[in-house]
Structure 1
Amino acid sequence: MRREQQAPDHRKNIRTLITIMYWLGAESAVSEPDVHDLAQLDPNLAAKPVCQFLRARGLLVDDPDLHRDADLTAIEAALATLPQPAASEVRARVDVLRSQGRREGEFRGWDGIRRYLDYLQPVLTVWAATGVTTLREITQQQVEDAVKNLSGHARRQLAIVLRSLFRSLKGQRVIFCDPAQNLPVGALKGVSQSVPSDLLAGLLDHAATPLGRLTVALAAVLAVPGSDIRTILTADVDLARGTLEIRRGLLRHTLYLEEFTHRQAAEWLTFRHRRWPASTNPHLLVSQKTALDPDRPAVSTATLRGVLPKGVTLDGLRQDRILNKAFESADPLKLMRLFGITERAAMRYVSAAHPERTARLPR
């Protein structure tokens, strides 16, 4: 293995393994925390691949605390900084996002909930510093003050988070009044602007790899959200029938592959099989790091962003595709069936594409 694996990452693994075996010997199992502690001493040492190597050979004593979800750990740490009962109220919102509330809701992963709390945490900290112990005490003025000094994307995201938080807590009967009910989202009314045509024209030229071309096709043609692109499984793609199944919690949405996306999916699967024939990762999209990782993780968001030119995002491509379809058809039901979006989202796209049809008549 040492002769065959001379890449920098493999040299780090070998150096770590040699150090451990020199000091601890190879006659007994190695404690997993010892490997991680050693790797923290030098950037030229590695922990995770060495632990996987030792675990596969029965030479590692696992530590359950090291295998806890990092996003879950961060969420619990953030909630621990809040006073009671505010912490319990925010946890009720987290339970709803995990579909554990009083009513069945949208299932969201721990990574999405962590991003949700990243926007919310500074506001909750400020409120706690002013003596607020429960979200029932929050007034409409306090909510408006929280977004007053923000602008652009930051203001819009925080406004969306605050509105969803208080709306959910009211639906769960945790609070009585919704102070964020009339909070304006911001300058963006409904949907983003269209992606410039010159950027769209150069997408495939910029995406020089099969992974990049399939990612562009999924976002720009099928309008699949970036979070869903990462979690698509290989078993969800049926080239014979020309279908792609998107998993959203307990829900399933079937997309039909047109010729271009079908060809990109076939080319990617062929490339993946030839490049990593021994990969057991169930995800459709894999990278050099995730293809052979025994933990079988999803590809990172940064990898997907890297296939796009500057100024283009996956969400922007998706919104542009839905908006163009809304220009062709003012039927929100068609948008809902085609892209699997909600009724409210479909109406926003129709309103943006055909304001003359949805404008309120003067009294």
Structure 2
Amino acid sequence: MTTLREVTPDHLQDVLEDLAGTARRQLATSLRSLFRALKRKRLIFHDPARHLAVGDLTGTLRPVPSDLLAGLLDHAATPFARLTIALAAIHAVPATEIRTARTADLNLARGTLELRRGLLRHTLYLEELTHHLAADWLTYRHQRWPASANPHLLVSQKTALDPDHPAVHRNTLQQVLPKGLTLDRLRQDRILDEAFTTGDPLKLMRLFGITEQTAMRYVGTAYPERTATLPR
């Protein structure tokens, strides 16, 4: 190599593959710090160590590879698929809550979607893309099933006119994704990406409505050096 701009995440993984314990943690932490500094000074365009895991990999949260994420919305064939992907990949909504979200809780005028979590509510503030996709879905749904009384935001051919008003099946949601990818992985990737970007557990809690313990887990994965000296 003639420049560090040529380094890829695969190169770093190859270097760390045969290391373990303290040796692995020290080298991985050094690589993370090095490439973060180079990126900050704009000496490299992309940080290959951004998602580099430090320490034991067992049970560690891992981001979805960027090549799997690229073009998901472009390849989604229906308004149903595009809105489902946006809710998981942009707003980190769990699959269960995507299934049970209600049309009455979507307010396009305000640009919000309220998610029901037991007695609690979590408000999503829809950015332009998701707002556009939600509007497209509502238009499509009304044109396709104008007589549907199902209160759920997402409906399918089977559930739209079902008098029992069921939520769409989880498998129906999963079918919008290519093989090897799940909505849970998209959600995990989104939260982990935000943790790498901000390192702020309070922001993660506010943005995604997750618990303190969950937020700390993601931040600990993104920045293990911050928690390495905490008592166990």
TM-score after normalising by structure 2: 0.73
The aligned counterpart of 1:328 is 197
> What is the percentage of aligned positions where both structures have the same residue?
74
Q: 1:273 to 1:336 in 2, by over 3 A?
A: same
Deviation at 1:361, TM superposition (A): 6.5
Q: Within 5 Å, which residues of 2 pair with 1:260-275?
A: 260-275=129-144
Deviation at 1:259, TM superposition (A): 0.5
From 221, 225, 231, give the equivalent of 1:356: 225
**C-alpha separation between the residues in 2 aligned to 1:299 and 1:257?**
22
Deviation at 1:359, TM superposition (A): 1.3
Q: Within 5 Å, which residues of 2 pair with 1:232-311?
A: 232-311=101-180
CA contact (8 A) 1:280 1:296 kept: yes
Secondary structure of the residue aligned to 2:73 is: helix
Deviation at 1:206, TM superposition (A): 3.0
Q: Which has the larger radius of gyration?
A: 1
Q: Within 5 Å, which residues of 2 pair with 1:131-210?
A: 187-189=58-60, 191=61, 193-210=62-79
Cα deviation 1:170-219 (Å, max 9, x = unaligned)? xxxxxxxxxxxxxxxx9213x3x111111101311331100000000000
Amino acid at match of 1:281: N
CA contact (8 A) 1:206 1:307 kept: no
Q: 1:220 to 1:361 in 2, by over 3 A?
A: closer
Amino acid at match of 1:325: E
Secondary structure of the residue aligned to 1:285 is: coil
Secondary structure of the residue aligned to 1:268 is: helix
Q: 1:294 to 1:336 in 2, by over 3 A?
A: same
Where do 4+ consecutive residues of structure 1 move more than 6 Å? Answer: none
**C-alpha separation between the residues in 2 aligned to 1:332 and 1:197?**
23
Secondary structure of the residue aligned to 1:318 is: helix
TM-score after normalising by structure 1: 0.47
Secondary structure of the residue aligned to 1:345 is: helix
**C-alpha separation between the residues in 2 aligned to 1:229 and 1:361?**
36
CA contact (8 A) 1:206 1:309 kept: no
Secondary structure of the residue aligned to 2:68 is: helix
Query: What is the aligned residue count?
Result: 175
Amino acid at match of 1:335: L
The aligned counterpart of 2:183 is 314
Amino acid at match of 2:72: L
The aligned counterpart of 2:86 is 217
Higher relative contact order (CA 8 A, sep 6+): 2
The aligned counterpart of 1:126 is none
Q: Which runs of 5+ in 1 are unaligned?
A: 1-185
Amino acid at match of 2:154: L
Q: Within 5 Å, which residues of 2 pair with 1:66-77?
A: none
Q: Which runs of 5+ in 2 are unaligned?
A: 1-56
Secondary structure of the residue aligned to 1:245 is: strand
Cα deviation 1:233-281 (Å, max 9, x = unaligned)? 0011000000110101111011100001000000000000000000000
Cα deviation 1:152-175 (Å, max 9, x = unaligned)? xxxxxxxxxxxxxxxxxxxxxxxx
RMSD: 1.3
